[in-house]
Amino acid sequence: MTHSAQELLDGIRTAIADGHGVNRFVPLVAEGRAPLASIGALAAEESRIVPADWRSFLALAARADDPAGRAFFTTLAQGEGSVLPLVAPLAAAAGFDEAAVRDHRPEPACQAYAAFVAWLASNAAPAVAAVALLTNFAAFGGYCAAIADGLRAHYGFADEAVAFFDFFAAPAPDLARQGLAAVQAGLDAGVPFDRAVEYARLLQGYELMFWNALADSAADPAEAG
């Protein structure tokens, strides 16, 4: 029987370690092989994802019954609010002006992650949603760090243009502690976590779909606009 949030998270990370395949996009950027159009497409997709996640986290904060859950999701929502203005400089550096971002045709595979976060916000116990999100943070932060390094080294992007990725790549120990507290509050309250592995695996899979859809657009630049 799981008695601590850390034990629960460690067990779920082990359970989903087989993953859903390989991230094909991040190495392209890290090695300077991704076309600028695909980086612009990433920014355009994020211009839709960030506001959606912001609303989802606010909804989870409102649904949380305990102070720890409310604090965790409020912090996540504040982070999305902070990072939203950083999308435009990234898009501009990749050659996407405001009109190009607006006119970009979103890829269903890129938007699936945010759609599932919205589903969690409506259907999952907030503490269980917290587990799914926490299991995904480390991988996402690593991807963002690799992209930030690649954009600086191979594309000459200035700090302002890379700030979106720097934000998510930065260690966030306080956020991790808040997340563990939210999960622990759920455990202490008897919240059932029997679907936590399922939700974490789905979220991981949807994130990989996001990156690999961008990799497909990099292979066919006509799809990136």
Q: Among the CATH numbers 1.20.910.10, 3.40.50.300, 3.80.10.10, 3.90.180.10, which is that of 5-219? A: 1.20.910.10
Q: How far apart are CA 65 and CA 112, in angstroms?
A: 27
End-to-end CA distance of the chain: 50
Contact 69, 185 (CB under 8 A): yes
Contact 132, 116 (CB under 8 A): no
pLDDT value, residue 3: 76
Average pLDDT, the chain: 95
Tens digit of pLDDT for each residue in 174-196? 999 999 999 999 999 999 999 99
Task: Give residue limits of the domains in the chain.
Answer: 5-219
For residue 158, the SS3 value is coil
Tens digit of pLDDT for each residue in 46-99? 999 999 999 999 999 999 999 999 999 999 999 999 999 999 999 999 999 999
Q: How far apart are CA 44 and CA 4, in angstroms?
A: 39
Q: Is the pTM of this model over 0.85?
A: yes
